[in-house]
């Protein structure tokens, strides 16, 4: 696992938002990324839909698993109790869960997020009616410890997500941002079915989760130099490891740099995006693979008995996308320093052959971790 994280860490330069200090006052200029990330999402969705024909019940039904997880964890942390049993839809009580020890500022934030997450479960149940699956068995206790020990290549570090502000925000954020990318992915899937009410639900969930994740990132950014004593690293270093694991668990997004650290290219990265400042999507399979720790049967970590609904396993993780498109999606900026030097609509050639670098990175990554 450490080898994988190290391999991913050298996948630089990253095709994220504009590098700090570049091109001041000018629009993003001369990025070769273009529409490649959006075309990759388009291809991934079409491939999965051609084969599986996921209905909105399948898609929103998948989302309810993650919403149950986030709502239940956030609700315990904020209020010391889980959401209303009706919203579990007959699902079992979670493993773990208690009131987190929070400062007044983070307590208020925890409460807002918990209310919104509970609302997310509620609206999906309303949209799907009797077709909505129950919440699955949730682990909101040791699953975090398993995640972070894997991220750090350790096996015995104790992690209490309810211990204090930092542990809570790091734990909440770990789930939330995966949800944000998954909601964006499901938005595109539901678009193929054409029910605009459901598209609006999924798009609104993506927006909400994205706002929440960015707020978490900003809280963590302000405290980036603090030590996380469990792993004796700074918050920034902790985020590097967390992000590398989430990236690695989505093998296809292991090629597309979807999961990004808190500090990138030497500066702030509160809104992780492609080179044009546009947020990125994951498929349900990629989301699931992160939450279950890469387990092929879809059971593990946060969902020890698996998830409910039609989408139950992380296969296929890796849609068939041309290497050249992946290379474009990861292409670096050509930083232009003076006004008017380059028309912002022109695409400069990559500074290096991104395909070759990506292929060599992938060949040095283990196939599981
Ligand atoms: C679209 O989905 C909603 C549930 O979100 C449902 O109430 C509505 O009947 C669906 N519309 C059509 C045309 O099927
Ligand atoms: C975990 O195990 C390692 C290696 O055996 C050891 O160095 C470390 O002190 C242990 N950490 C904890 C928190 O027990
Ligand atoms: C964090 O550390 C960096 C580098 O030492 C320093 O420039 C920055 O001001 C520090 N920020 C905070 C919020 O402590
Ligand atoms: C924690 O890390 C710092 C900096 O990397 C190091 O100097 C220190 O010895 C470490 N402390 C422990 C208890 O491992
Ligand atoms: C980049 O490398 C790949 C793999 O070796 C190769 O197929 C491709 O033609 C190269 N692209 C350019 C623009 O040189």
Question: What pLDDT, on the 0 to 100 scale, is given for residue 343?
Answer: 65
- Distance, first Cα to last Cα, the chain: 5
Distance 212 CA to ligand 3 centre (A): 24
Determine the 3-state secondary structure of 31 from DSSP: strand
Q: Is residue 243 part of a domain?
A: yes
Cβ 225 under 6 angstroms from ligand 3: yes
Determine the 3-state secondary structure of 98 from DSSP: coil
Q: Are 334 and 30 a contacting pair, CB within 8 Å?
A: yes
From atom 12 of ligand 5, which residue's Cα is the shortest distance away? 353
Q: What are phi and psi of 87, to 5 degrees?
A: -75, -15
Distance 156 CA to ligand 2 centre (A): 6
Q: Is residue 368 part of a domain?
A: no
- Rounded distance between C-alpha atoms, residue 244 and residue 238, angstroms: 10
Sign of CA dihedral 129, 133, 134, 139: negative
Q: Are 82 and 75 a contacting pair, CB within 8 Å?
A: yes
Token digits of residue 335? 């930083």
Cβ 193 under 6 angstroms from ligand 1: no
Cβ 355 under 6 angstroms from ligand 5: yes
- Which residues are paired to 139 by β-bridges? 95
pLDDT in tens, the chain (369 residues): 333 333 333 333 455 655 555 555 555 555 667 899 999 999 999 999 999 999 999 999 999 999 999 999 999 999 999 999 999 999 999 999 999 999 999 999 999 999 999 999 999 999 999 999 999 999 999 999 999 999 999 999 999 999 999 999 999 999 999 999 999 999 999 999 999 999 999 999 999 999 999 999 999 999 999 999 999 999 999 999 999 999 989 876 556 778 989 998 778 899 998 878 899 999 999 999 999 999 999 999 999 999 999 999 999 988 888 888 888 887 765 554 445 555 666 655 555 555 566 556 555 544 333
What DSSP assignment string belongs to 196-216? HHHHHHHHHHHHHHHHHHHHH
DSSP 310: S
Contacts of 220 (CB under 8 A, 6+ apart): 166, 169, 170, 173, 235, 239, 262
Token digits of residue 164? 């204090």
- Rounded distance between C-alpha atoms, residue 186 and residue 206, angstroms: 9
Cβ 356 under 6 angstroms from ligand 5: yes
Q: What are phi and psi of 31, to 5 degrees?
A: -100, 135
Q: Are 110 and 135 a contacting pair, CB within 8 Å?
A: no
Distance 195 CA to ligand 1 centre (A): 6
- Give me the CATH number covering residue 263: 1.20.1260.10
Token digits of residue 105? 């500022």
- Rounded distance between C-alpha atoms, residue 312 and residue 297, angstroms: 8
Q: Is residue 331 part of a domain?
A: yes
Ligand 3: nearest atom to the Cα of 222: 13
- Which residues are paired to 264 by β-bridges? 267
- Which residues are paired to 303 by β-bridges? 300
Q: Is residue 118 part of a domain?
A: yes
Question: Which listed ligand is nearest to 232 at the C-alpha?
Answer: 4
Question: What pLDDT, on the 0 to 100 scale, is given for residue 1?
Answer: 31
Cβ 18 under 6 angstroms from ligand 1: no
Q: Is residue 319 part of a domain?
A: yes
Cβ 156 under 6 angstroms from ligand 3: no
Cβ 357 under 6 angstroms from ligand 1: no
The number of domains in the chain is 1
Question: Which listed ligand is nearest to 230 at the C-alpha?
Answer: 2
Token digits of residue 219? 């809280």
3-state helix, strand, coil in the chain (%, to 5): 50, 5, 45
Cβ 360 under 6 angstroms from ligand 5: no
Token digits of residue 47? 């491939």
- Write out the residue range of the structural domain in which residue 173 sits: 2-363
Contacts of 285 (CB under 8 A, 6+ apart): 48, 311, 313, 314, 315, 316, 317
From atom 8 of ligand 3, which residue's Cα is the shortest distance away? 225
Question: What pLDDT, on the 0 to 100 scale, is given for residue 19?
Answer: 59
In 314-352, which positions are buried (b, 16+ CB within 10 angstroms) versus exposed (e)?
Answer: bebbbbebeeebbbbbbbbbbbbeeeeebeeeebbebee
Nearest to 114 by CA among 77, 145, 149: 77
Does residue 364 have a cis bond before it (omega within 30 degrees)? no
Kindly list the protein residues whose Cβ atom lies closer than 6 A to any atom of ligand 2: 156-157
- Rounded distance between C-alpha atoms, residue 68 and residue 107, angstroms: 20
């Amino acid at each position: 696992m450490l080898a994988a994280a190290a391999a991913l860490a050298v996948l630089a330069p990253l095709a994220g938002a504009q590098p700090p200090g570049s091109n001041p006052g000018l629009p993003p200029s001369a990025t070769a990324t273009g529409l490649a990330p959006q075309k990759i999402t388009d291809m991934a969705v079409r491939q999965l839909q051609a084969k599986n024909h996921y209905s909105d019940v399948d898609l929103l039904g998948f989302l309810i698993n993650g919403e149950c997880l986030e709502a239940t964890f956030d609700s315990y942390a904020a209020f010391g109790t889980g959401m209303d049993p009706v919203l579990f839809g007959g699902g079992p009580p979670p493993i773990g869960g208690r009131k987190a020890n929070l400062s007044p500022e983070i307590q208020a934030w925890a409460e807002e997020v918990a209310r919104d997450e509970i609302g997310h479960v509620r609206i999906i149940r309303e949209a799907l009616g009797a077709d909505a699956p129950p919440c699955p068995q949730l682990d909101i206790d040791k699953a975090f410890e398993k995640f972070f020990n894997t991220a750090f290549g350790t096996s015995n570090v104790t992690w209490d997500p309810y211990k204090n502000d930092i542990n809570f925000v790091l734990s909440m954020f770990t789930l939330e941002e995966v949800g944000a990318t998954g909601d964006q992915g499901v938005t595109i899937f539901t678009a193929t079915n054409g029910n605009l009410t459901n598209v609006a639900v999924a798009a609104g969930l993506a927006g909400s989760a994205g706002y929440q994740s960015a707020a978490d990132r900003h809280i963590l950014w302000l405290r980036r130099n603090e030590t996380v004593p469990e792993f004796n690293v700074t918050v920034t270093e902790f985020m590097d490891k967390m992000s590398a694991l989430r990236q690695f668990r989505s093998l296809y997004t292991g090629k597309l740099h979807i999961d990004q650290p808190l500090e990138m290219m030497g500066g702030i990265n509160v809104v992780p995006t492609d080179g044009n400042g546009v947020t990125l999507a994951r498929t349900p399979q990629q989301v699931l693979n992160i939450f279950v720790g890469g387990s092929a049967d879809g059971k593990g970590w946060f969902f020890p008995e698996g998830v409910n609904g039609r989408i139950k396993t992380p296969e296929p993780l890796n849609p068939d996308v041309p290497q050249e498109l992946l290379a474009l999606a990861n292409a670096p900026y050509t930083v232009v320093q003076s006004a008017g030097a380059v028309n912002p609509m022109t695409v400069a050639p990559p500074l290096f052959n991104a395909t070759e670098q990506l292929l060599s990175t992938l060949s040095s990554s283990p196939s599981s971790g």
